[in-house]
Amino acid sequence: MKNDNRNKGGVDAKPIRIKVGGKERMFDIDDPGLPDWVEKNKLTAGGYPYDERMKRKDFDQTLETLQKELVKLQSWMQATGERVMVVMEGRDAAGKGGTIFRMHRYMNPRTANIIALPKPTEAERGQWYFQRYIAHFPTAGEFVTFDRSWYNRAGVEPVMGFCTPEQHQKFLDDAPRFELTLVSEGIRFFKFWLNIGQETQLERFHDRRHSALTHWKFSPIDVAGMEKWDDYSAKRDLMLERTHTPYAPWQVVRANDKRRSRLAVIRHVLLSIPYAGRDEKAIGKEDPRIISDAPAFLRSL
């Protein structure tokens, strides 16, 4: 018997016609059966370089090693007053929250903060666009991670019509100048874009829709976003091109396999900061098939 999730969480999701890989497809997210064309390509979508997920045992062992290094990093930050700020961006269902959870899991929450702001209030809409984010920037010894950030104005806002074209273009001009200020202040600043393939996103949305535990994550924005894949891609590419700078570079992480992407993000942060006691051998080397800077990613498209 079909598990009818229609309107679950207050979301009405009718079957939609979308273009995937140059072909028109019908996708009914309320059908409990995942279409064969999604199941077949959910890992390899978008040119993902691996055809198998990382083994759980290897992931767990490596993750624990990296988490121990994060604890060292935090101790060093407390001793030196260093500040670290991470911006985690990506399409819906890219794995931002899961990556942040594993990065922060064993860090002291008193000085390792996760910032996930709701939509702006009426008062905040009247402020300078960046203003509400600044209050959450790190003080001495703090590690702050933004689960989405001011880069909403580079992606979801222009795609969904939540800002004007003029506001979007102004943001692309202003963001590099804004980030130069915070880097010049001495904050160690990281920007990650978690990149997933289209079938990967559809499979993750489908899982959410049919889960008694996570269906609340599926939103009207997700429904609309499924039909705007190409528009999101165009805005992503423009964002990476216009806001990647030598002082605030974008790192693009191929995230179809959540295990590899989570390790790649944590490893990049650890290898970028010269904290006391850093064990580079234990951290390991970056996988260029999984993580690259924005220019290299754009050249690969």
pLDDT value at residue 127: 97
pLDDT value at residue 2: 40
Give residue-wise pLDDT tens across range 209-226: 999 998 888 888 888 888
For the cut 50, the answer to whether the pLDDT of residue 3 exceeds it is: no
For the chain, what's the residue count? 301
Helices 258-272 and 96-104 cross at an angle (nearest 10°) of: 50
Q: In what order do the strands lie in the sheet with 84-90?
A: 112-115, 143-147, 84-90, 188-195, 250-254, 291-293
Lowest mean pLDDT, pick from 9-18, 77-86, 186-195: 9-18
Mean pLDDT score, 1-14 = 54
For the cut 70, the answer to whether the pLDDT of residue 5 exceeds it is: no
Neighbours of 150 (CB within 10 A): 21
On the 0-12 / 13-18 / 19+ scale of CB atoms within 10 A, 65 is middle
Mean pLDDT score, 22-39 = 94
Mean of all residue pLDDT scores within the chain: 95
Q: Domains in the chain and their CATH numbers?
A: 15-300 (3.40.50.300)
pLDDT value at residue 221: 82
